[in-house]
Amino acid sequence: MFRAFREQIDTVFRGDPAAKSAVEIFFCYPGFHAILLHRLGHKLHRRGFTLTARILSQFIRAMTGIEIHPGAQIGRRCFIDHGMGVVIGETTEIGDDVLMYQGVTLGGTGKEKGKRHPSIGNNVVIGTGAKILGNITIGNNTKVGAGSVVIRSVPDNSTVVGVPGRVTRTRGDAGGNLEHGNLPDPEGQLIDELTRRIDQLEAQVRMLAEERLAERR
């Protein structure tokens, strides 16, 4: 228990440059409280004390604004930054070294039974307000941009943005913090490409018109 406590404090120090001391983290970081109390609730849930675990999860929600179903599996060194509005569903599986910002939803898409929530790989960063829905897999070392809605599985080492989420980059350097102001814009790129093609077509039309005019003269 002490090792888990110490590891979670070290995780906050690595994930948030604003953290000044272990005492500040203990008293002022709702993500820290939510993860540690969830680990207790998850153990109770696995041992059959499901009602007690659910009551504990509601206490966590009231105290932190973070709702984690006690059935969710969360790996080591997970950090929820700020955390208000985060929702993590019952059959969610989260790997190690995952960073989530406020407003993230790891939810289902209907009333189906069994595995109905996402599986998140290791070293994944999920931006503010992102929604990852359904029984899909988010690969290792992936970044999910702020406000994205992801409904299909994503391969390792990817960057996903947009509604619905699109893989805009696949490479091996996707670790670290998510730079919200430096994400690809697939719709903007498409508009730029269309504009470029229109300019080319207009130039060709002008050239043909000039050639036809010259022939008439």
For the chain, 217 residues long, the average pLDDT of each consecutive 10-residue run is 84 89 92 94 96 96 96 95 93 95 92 89 94 95 93 93 83 54 67 86 87 78
- Backbone φ and ψ for 38, nearest 5 degrees, come out as -60, -40
Q: At what angle do helices 30-46 and 2-15 cross, to 10 degrees?
A: 140
pLDDT of residue 52: 96
Contact 8, 32 (CB under 8 A): yes
pLDDT of residue 181: 57
**pTM (2 d.p.):** 0.79
pLDDT of residue 155: 93
Give the β-pairing of 143-144 and 99-100: unpaired
Contact 85, 102 (CB under 8 A): yes
Tracing tokens 């039974």 back to the chain, one arrives at 113
